[in-house]
Amino acid sequence: MKRIFWQFLLPAWLLAGPARAQSLAGVWQGVEDEFDKQRYCPSVLRVQQRAGTDLFGILFQQSGSQAGITVTFQMDGSPTPAGMRLQHGRRLAETGRSPTRYWCGNGTIAFTYDAAQEKLTGHAEYEPYDDCDTGEFTFYRVKLKSAATVPAGTLSTLRVTGREVRWYADADLRQLVATGNTYPTRLRKATTFYLTQNFYPTAESPVVPITVRVSEPAPAVAARPRPAPAPLDTLPLLRARLPLPPAAALPVVAASPVVLPTVLFKVTTADLLPTARPALAALAAELRAHPELRLRIAGHTDRVGESTKNQQLSEQRAEAVKAYLVQAGVAAERLSTVGYGDARPLYSAPDARNRRVEVQPVP
C-alpha cells in the first residue's frame, strides 16, 4: 500500500505446487518487505490446488501495524521447479481506503520453497505505478516434522516448523504450554495442540491443530484377518453405517463426494450443531475399523456474508470435523481438508443445509 511520498508495498503472492513432490497447499503466514520498517505489510496466504496443476490463492495484507487498513486479493498461478508463481487477480475486499493511499496489486510473485524450514521466499514485480515496482515476501507454514506417533509415557521431543511458534492446549488459546519449534513432553493419550506463529501476526493469522498419537500395547492375541477393502471409488461403508439418505436422494452426482446431511453448523461459526455428533461418531468408528480408508473433508458455507470470510469459515468447518475424528482416534494423516466457501451451494439461499461438510475417499 502506498501513501503520498512513501509506499506500503503490498503484493499478491504465494501458491502451492508439487515442488519436490510436495504440496504447498495450506495456510502461510509472513510479511512483505520485512526489513523496511516504514512500509512492511504483515500477510497471510491461503493456497489450494485446482484441477490439474493450476493453483488458487487468497492473499490478505495489512498496512504495517494498522489493523484497520487491509486488502484481500485473489491469486492465480502454477507450480515451478523451485516453488510456484502467482499472479494478482481481482480485489476481493479492502478496509481503510482513502484518496492518499493505494495498494500495489497488479503483478506477479515468484516463490522459492524451502522444504526443511517450510518457508517461502517471494520476489514480486509490479506493473510500474508511482513507487510500485518490486516487493520481497517471507512466509512460514506450521507443520509437524517429528514422529506423528510417540511411545506412551515416554519423554519425547515434538518438533514443528514455523517462526516464533506458540503451543496451546486448547483451541481458545488460553493455555500456553510451550514456545519455539520444539516441545519435550510425555503423552499418555492422543493429544491435539493448537499452534500459532507470532511472526507478523494479524487478525487473519491461522490457528493450526497438530495431533500426536501414542503407541498402544500389542494385542495379546493375533487379530483376525480383515476382509479385503472395498474399492476407494465407492462409499458402501459410509452409506451402510451413516444416517444418509438413499443414493437417489443425495444432492450430488455419483457416490463421491457424499454429503453428511446432519453435520451442520451454527450461522457464521465453525461450531458443530448437536445433530452432527451421531453421524461423526459413526464415521469415526467406520474409519477405525478400516485403516486403509483415507478421506478428504470439504467444508462449505451459505451465501450470507462476505465471500472472503466465507472461504475462511469453510476451511475452519472442515478442520472442525477433522479435529472431531482425530479426537475419536482416527490418524490425522488419513484426513485432508479443503474449503470451498460459498461457491458450491446445493440449495437456494437461505438454507442451513448449505452450511455442510462432504467426505470423499482418496487413494
> The whole model's pTM is what?
0.56
Q: Could you tell me which residue, 138 or 19, shows the higher pLDDT?
A: 138
> With bands split at pLDDT 50, 70 and 90, how would you rate the model's confidence at 50?
confident
Task: Name 15's Cβ contacts closer than 8 Å, sequence gap at least 6.
Answer: 24, 45, 47, 55, 56, 57, 75, 77, 78, 79, 84, 85, 86, 111
Please give the single-letter amino acid code of residue 214.
V
Of the candidate ranges 87-91, 205-209, 239-243, 353-357, the one whose mean pLDDT is the lowest:
239-243
Bridge partners for 360 per DSSP: 296
Q: Is the pLDDT of residue 183 over 50?
A: yes
Q: Is the pLDDT of residue 163 over 70?
A: yes
Q: Model confidence over 1-44: pLDDT tens digits?
A: 433 222 222 333 333 333 334 688 889 999 998 776 677 999 99
Q: What is the pLDDT of residue 168?
A: 95
Domain boundaries, the chain: 2-140, 149-214, 236-362
Calculate mean pLDDT across residues 322-329: 88
Which residue's C-alpha cell is 442451513?
Answer: 352
> Cell triple for residue 259?
454429503
> Cell triple for residue 92?
476481493
Quick one: fold of 236-362? 60s Ribosomal Protein L30; Chain: A; (3.30.1330)
Return the number of other C-beta atoms located less than 10 Å from residue 355's C-beta.
Answer: 26
3-state secondary structure the chain: CEECCEECCCCCCCCCCCHHHCCCCEEEEEEECCCCCCCCEEEEEEEEECCCCCEEEEEEEEECCEEEEEEEEEEEEEECCCEEEEEEEEEEEEECCCCCEECCCCEEEEEEEECCCCEEEEEEEEEEECCEEEEEEEEECCCECCCCEECCCCEEEEEECCCCEEEECCCCCCCEEEECCEEEEECCCCEEEEEEECCCCCCCCCCEEEEEEECCCCCCCCCCCCCCCCCCCCCHHHHHHCCCCCHHHCCCCCCCCEECCCCCECCCCCCECCCHHHHHHHHHHHHHHCCCCEEEEEECCCCCCCHHHHHHHHHHHHHHHHHHHHHCCCCHHHEEEEECCCCCCCCCCCCHHHCCEEEEEEC
> Cell triple for residue 105?
496489486
Q: Could you tell me which residue, 360 or 234, shows the higher pLDDT?
A: 360
Q: Which of 92, 33, 10 is nearest to 309 (CA)?
A: 92
Return the number of other C-beta atoms located less than 10 Å from residue 42's C-beta.
Answer: 24
Q: Please give the class, per CATH, of domain 149-214.
A: mainly beta
Q: What is the pLDDT of residue 220?
A: 52
Q: What is the pLDDT of residue 3?
A: 33
Between CA 197 and CA 192 the distance in angstroms is 17
Distance, first Cα to last Cα, the chain: 44
> With bands split at pLDDT 50, 70 and 90, how would you rate the model's confidence at 98?
confident
Q: Model confidence over 233-254: pLDDT tens digits?
A: 334 445 444 444 333 333 322 3
Strands 2-3 and 55-63: unpaired
> With bands split at pLDDT 50, 70 and 90, how would you rate the model's confidence at 230?
very low
Which CATH superfamily groups domain 2-140? Quinohemoprotein amine dehydrogenase alpha subunit, domain 2 (2.40.128.120)
Q: Is the pLDDT of residue 127 over 80?
A: yes
